[in-house]
Structure 1
Amino acid sequence: MGVLSWVILGLIAGALAKWIMPGRDPGGWIVTMVIGIVGAFIGGWLGALVGLGGPVTGFGIGDIITATIGAVIFLAIYRMFKRRGN
């Protein structure tokens, strides 16, 4: 259930990241949701490094916040590289 919960959490985090950082994204909502999934993994990994928790065991508020922060960071990096490439 660990990976599946990260994917579901990533979809939620992607939607929250899009809400926090509105604007036109190259790729639209689908790419943003994929970015949310990747951001959830990155946020969980970084959270584990600094001692904020490990893999998702449920959908606690801390897990959602950590995944959303990871998704926002990854979305910002994605936007930066996509705009540079145009």
Structure 2
Amino acid sequence: MLICSCNVLTDKQLREAAAEMRADPNGKIPTPGAVFRHLGCRPRCGGCFPSVIDIIHEDAPESEVKNEKPARRRRSAAAG
């Protein structure tokens, strides 16, 4: 099924790229941006990201998902 119409990427391509990244001992956790780079492209509109996230993490070991660090929150100047 076509997931990213901007780059014409299918769910199969995204799953395979994420699996290749997980299998690489020096690889990184597959994030949407990292998977796109692995496939030789870059995100454009970002409309597919919710689906991409679901697809690349559906076969991920539970320990990988739990070990991801949450995004850092920026403090506003007023909170300083």
Q: Same fold (TM over 0.5)?
A: no
Which has the larger share of helix? 1
Larger radius of gyration: 2
TM bucket normalised to smaller: 0.3 to 0.5
User: What TM-score, normalized to structure 1?
Assistant: 0.32
> Which of the pair has the greater relative contact order for Cα pairs under 8 Å at 6+ separation?
1
TM-score, normalised on structure 2?
0.33
**Larger strand share, 1 or 2:** 2
